[in-house]
Structure formats: structure tokens, C-alpha cells
Amino acid sequence: MSGGGLSLDELKDLQKQLSKLSSGGNAEAVLAILQQLKAGLHPTEDIIRQSKIGVAVGKLRSHADKSVADQAKALVKDWKSIVDKQRKTKDAASTTKSPSAAPSPSAAGASNRTPASVDGSAKASPVPPAKIDFDTLGDKVRNACLKLLYQSLEIDREAQGLDPSSLFQVAVSIERAILENQGKGSVTQEYRSKVRSLSLNLKDKNNPQLRARVANGEIAPDRLVTMTNEQDLASDKRRQEIEELQMQNLFKAKGAAAQEAETDAFQCGRCKQRKTRYYQMQTRSADEPMTTFVTCVHCNHKWKFC
């Protein structure tokens, strides 16, 4: 059981529910789960990591509904603050344990290093464990690119309960995929450009969903390095803006010969009225059905279907 009364299984179930609801429009259901988490979970680093609840809540910070986004941001901020305090308390206790025993040289060295790591990483990016080696690739440029990718992935790592060594392995896999796909086995200009482009997209504060999906293995490295910036890597908000712009351009690009006709066969999804105008255009290959463009006469809402 967690400190707040929710068991690990219950948290995993809530995590699954949030993952399913994150792309839908049921804001009330999402808010209800967030309230349940706020009231029933006393977070610890272990429970957040094991249940992956931090990942699910983190994705909601860019939710289309402002109340959901604000509640998710507040939860992540509170959990991060609590986990940071727990870590500081644990580290402080370990340095003062067994005061009567004389420390060995190795123990003394370890205790001297502990406060420095706590003070230096409490508010900044966490210092990677010793087993994370950014010089492992045997090439200065590749090592620098590997470090850049890791630093892009580790944003919000603590709040989402992600393990540094796991993130490092993800970064290694991404770098290797870029080398094979864009670099064709060598450090080329295409390789460098792809590393910079992916790094910028992964650490975009407006696109936490992409970072979380990559960190958790939902998007495999081989697929990630072939995704395009405009659509695949864009945040949900940006993708919606692109689709709306494309829709507007399609309506503006109708030919002079395309004549609109009025009909009551379609119902507007916005105002529910049936007085509409429509026209058809071949937007795909010749053997595909024509696309129908509809405009509501009452509210000017536009939509299309094939």
C-alpha cells in the first residue's frame, strides 16, 4: 500500500485509465481521477516509478481543457517537491548514521561526496550515476551527441519516476539509430542535424507527451528517427493547428468551377443546425472517393469527409 491508502494495483489501474482518457474529451472523468490521486496518494519515489502514474499525469499538463492541465501541473509540482524532500532527508540520515564508528577512508570519501551531490542536484538536472558513461562510444562527436540526447530525455525524470540508467539506454539506442539511418554508419552532417532536431523536439516544454512516449518505449528509436518534425513530432496542440490550417487551405483552394449547393442532409456538429452548403473535390487518387466539403450556413463551421 502507498502512504496515502492507494495500493500499487489501484495506482496502476488509475494510470491505465488516464492513458486512455488523455486523448479523449471527457475532462470531467480525468478531473475526477486527478482529485482521487490528490486526496489518496502520498507519493514516494518508488511508488511513482513502479506505478508510472507520474508519466500519465505528466502527459495531461498540455491537455486541451485548461482545468485538467492546471490540475496536472499542480500535482506534478507537489509530487516533485515531496520526493525531493524525502531524498534530502534520506541522504542526510545516511551521512549521520553510526556516529561512534570511525569511518574508513573509502567511507569517508563517499560521505564527503554525498552532500555535494545533494546540494548540486536538488534544483538542477540530476547528476547521472557513475555507471552512465558518456565516453562509451569511442568518438568525441558521438559522445557529445549521446549526452545531448540524454539531457533532453531526463527533463521531468524525477516527477515521472524514470530510472536514469534506463533513460541512458534509450539515449544510446536513439544515437545508434541516427547513426545507421541518417549517418549511414558515419558522423555526417545529416547525423548532426538529426541529433539537434530530435533534441529540440524532445525537450520542448510544450510537448511532454513525446518525451514520455520515447522514454517509456512507446515510440521505438528506429521509428523515432524517421518521424517528421511537422506532424509526427509535433505536440497535440501544434498538430491540431496544422490540421486546421490544412482544412482552411483546402476550402480556399477550391476551383472556380466547384459550385456549392445547399442541403439539409448534413447536421453541423457545433450548432446542430441542418442548413448547410457543400461541394465535392477529388483530393486523392482517381480511384478514391471524392472529398465532400461542408459549411454550416448558421455558424460558418466547416468540415469534410470522404
Domain 254-305, CATH number (from 2.60.40.1580, 3.40.50.620, 2.20.25.10, 3.40.640.10): 2.20.25.10
Are 23 and 7 contacting, i.e. CB atoms less than 8 angstroms apart? no
pTM of the complete model: 0.41
- Residue with the larger pLDDT of the pair 189 and 51: 189
For residue range 131-185, what is the model confidence (pLDDT) as tens digits?
A: 688 888 889 999 999 999 999 998 878 777 788 888 899 999 999 999 999 999 8
**DSSP single-letter state for residue 60:** G
Least confident of 54-68, 162-176, 228-242: 228-242
Give the mean pLDDT of 248-254.
Answer: 63
Q: Is the pLDDT of residue 67 over 80?
A: yes
The length of the chain in residues reads 306
d(CA 191, CA 181): 8
Structural domain boundaries in the chain: 8-94+113-121, 125-252, 254-305
- Distances from the Cα of 235 to the Cα of 25, 180, 214, angstroms: 17, 26, 13
Query: What's residue 157's pLDDT?
Result: 80
Percent of the chain residues topping a pLDDT of 70: 74
The letter for the amino acid at 253 is A
Q: Is the pLDDT of residue 117 over 50?
A: no
Residue 123 pLDDT class (50, 70, 90 cuts):
very low
Q: If DSSP codes are grouped into helix, strand and coil, which group holds residue 161?
A: coil
d(CA 185, CA 194): 14
Query: What's residue 103's pLDDT?
Result: 47
Q: Is the pLDDT of residue 107 over 90?
A: no
For residue range 13-48, what is the model confidence (pLDDT) as tens digits?
A: 888 888 777 666 678 888 888 888 888 887 887 888
Q: Is the pLDDT of residue 278 over 50?
A: yes
Most confident segment among 86-100, 126-140, 220-234: 220-234
d(CA 161, CA 216): 11
Percent of the chain residues topping a pLDDT of 90: 18
Give the mean pLDDT of 68-73.
Answer: 84
Q: Is the pLDDT of residue 190 over 90?
A: yes
The letter for the amino acid at 16 is K
Rounded to the nearest integer, the mean pLDDT of the chain is 77
Give the mean pLDDT of 82-108.
Answer: 62
Query: What's residue 129's pLDDT?
Result: 46
d(CA 187, CA 241): 35
Most confident segment among 58-62, 74-78, 141-145: 141-145
Look at strands 302-305 and 291-296 and give their pairing: antiparallel
Q: Grid coordinates representing 208?
A: 511532454
Q: If DSSP codes are grouped into helix, strand and coil, which group holds residue 293?
A: strand
Q: What is the number of other CB atoms lying within 10 angstroms of the CB of residue 42?
A: 12
d(CA 239, CA 23): 13
d(CA 227, CA 285): 24
Residue 95 pLDDT class (50, 70, 90 cuts):
low
Cβ partners under 8 Å of residue 37, min gap 6? 6, 14, 53, 57, 75
Q: Is the pLDDT of residue 112 over 60?
A: no
Q: Is the pLDDT of residue 230 over 70?
A: no
d(CA 170, CA 164): 10
Q: b/e per residue, 6-41, with b = 16+ CB within 10 A?
A: beeebbeebbebbeebbeeeebeebbebbeebeeeb
d(CA 2, CA 47): 7
Q: Which residues face 295 on adjacent strands? A: 277, 302
Q: If DSSP codes are grouped into helix, strand and coil, which group holds residue 147?
A: helix
Query: What's residue 96's pLDDT?
Result: 60
Domain 8-94+113-121, CATH number (from 1.20.930.10, 3.40.50.620, 1.20.120.530, 1.10.760.10): 1.20.930.10
Query: What's residue 43's pLDDT?
Result: 81
